[in-house]
Amino acid sequence: MNQTIERRPLFGPASFYKEVLAVALPVMAQQAIQSLVSLIDNFMVAGLGDAKMAGVNVANQVNFVYMVVMMTLSAAGGIYMSQYRGAKDEEGMRQAYRFKAIMTLGVSALYFAVCQVMPASLVTMMTVGNAAQAEIVAHGASYLRLVSWTFLPMALSQSIGSAFREIGRPNAPLVISVAATAINTFFNWALIYGHLGAPALEIRGAAIATIIARVVELTTFIAYARSVKAPFFVPLSGLLRARWPLFREILGKSSLMLLSETSWVVSETVTTALYNGRGGAEVVAGMSAGWAIANIFFLVFTGIHVSTGVVVGGLLGADKLDEAKVKARWIMSGSVIGGTVVALLQVASIAAVPLVFMNLTPQATKVTAGLLFVIAAYLPLWSLLNAQFAVSRAGGDTMMGVAVDVGVTYALFIPGAFALALLTPIGPVAMYGIVKLTDIVKWYVARRWLRKERWLRNLAAPTDGAAGTAAADAAG
């Protein structure tokens, strides 16, 4: 069977890629807009000086861990959402949504409590060895405690928005994100520097602007889902009417995804702390500015994941396994081309760094430009890696992520980062570029794993137990 697949062309016809892009482009546009919020925050806060910008960005580095956990839980429900959509099973879609909403709200409530009680401790962990630690921690803790009020509305918005994308309707989340971004930008401008008679709240103003935007975003999502009678949507009062055996099944998948993703995010967080210790506020500010720009180009990864879930997951749910196998191959091949195009655009963006971050010191600007160049070099490889992960997860094979992320991360990536930090004097950008060579090993392991075709499964096929539970729900 594998030999037959190998003889088929690497790339699909143009009509196939048009179908993929019809899903991916609105999702990528939404991701770009969300990343622009971070970039706008960085741009406006940069005018307050390196230390305040560093405080906000270190707080956001801490929040990154929470965001990955929340999005991973949502993505676990999304595996089933896409397959139930392919099977035209609306009750299954509602059950997948219940999982997404319950889990993301639960994690958000827990993290909100932590940020209210110990924000300074969280920021301190990320700035060990930094020459300006005390000042960065003071600003970062103040921002983190206030911005944590966005977590609960953001959780529900994530659940609803991602569900619309997974059923092949990505335009509504795009429009709502545009509106939320415009609101955030306006209130940033008004509240950070005190325009239109508003008080000049500096970094607190940035946090308040984010809160306002997130509340409006959630309100709009709920109103829209109700108005169009979204097939997956369940009001808050009905969230706990879950089919618990299915809930536990999705939770089992999500636990492996969480192990994989938290392994990756913990490694990134630890190494970020190592980078931050290679200087003062200029290193933190420069690296943070670089990531703010790079995140705009990482939109290609979200497009790959969502389009793979819709196309491949939908085919698997419809029990078209052979077609899913061929189109998964086409997506992986196309991802390299997409990653290369995005990498070239990111290289071109380096010229804009002094204009966008004109208030950064020359040292911080140099760090930003160097980081963007290194990231661009890896984008084609990372695009392929994301396509490999997306294919495996479309069929519920979450074990591949554990083998690839956990194995390579703890065997090579983290030891390499510590070795460079402790044994060499090289700067943060060079450290990052060297340790990321371990991603070549990830690609090889994932390639071997996918050939086993453990992902080629229809998760929406009813079992006797599931059918009985569904019948009982209907009778109730």
pLDDT digits (tens, 9 = 90+) for 98-157: 999 999 999 999 999 999 999 888 888 877 766 677 888 888 888 999 999 999 999 999
pLDDT digits (tens, 9 = 90+) for 19-77: 888 888 887 777 777 666 666 766 777 677 777 877 887 888 788 788 888 888 888 88
Q: Is 442 exposed, middle or buried (0-12, 13-18, 19+ CB in 10 A)?
A: buried
For tokens 């919020």, name the residue. 37
Contact 203, 56 (CB under 8 A): yes
Quick check: helix, strand or coil at residue 277? coil
C-alpha span between 398 and 253 (Å, rounded): 6
Contact 394, 457 (CB under 8 A): no
Q: What are φ and ψ of residue 239, in 5° steps?
A: -60, -40
**pLDDT given at position 242:** 86
- CA 388, 71, 181, 272: dihedral to nearest 10 degrees? -80
pLDDT (mean) for 470-475: 39
Residue 169's CB: how many other CB atoms inside 10 A?
Answer: 17
Quick check: helix, strand or coil at residue 230? coil
pLDDT digits (tens, 9 = 90+) for 152-194: 999 999 899 989 988 878 888 888 988 888 898 899 889 988 8
Contact 146, 84 (CB under 8 A): no
Across 219-223, 253-257, 308-312, 459-463, least confident range: 459-463
Instruction: Indicate if the pLDDT at residue 10 is higher than 70.
Output: yes
Residues 6+ apart with CB under 8 A from 250: 76, 77, 79, 80, 96, 99
C-alpha span between 409 and 442 (Å, rounded): 9
Quick check: helix, strand or coil at residue 167? coil
pLDDT digits (tens, 9 = 90+) for 241-254: 888 888 888 888 77
Mean pLDDT, the chain, whole residue set: 84
pLDDT (mean) for 266-281: 74
Contact 158, 77 (CB under 8 A): no
Contact 394, 453 (CB under 8 A): no
For tokens 């094979």, name the residue. 397
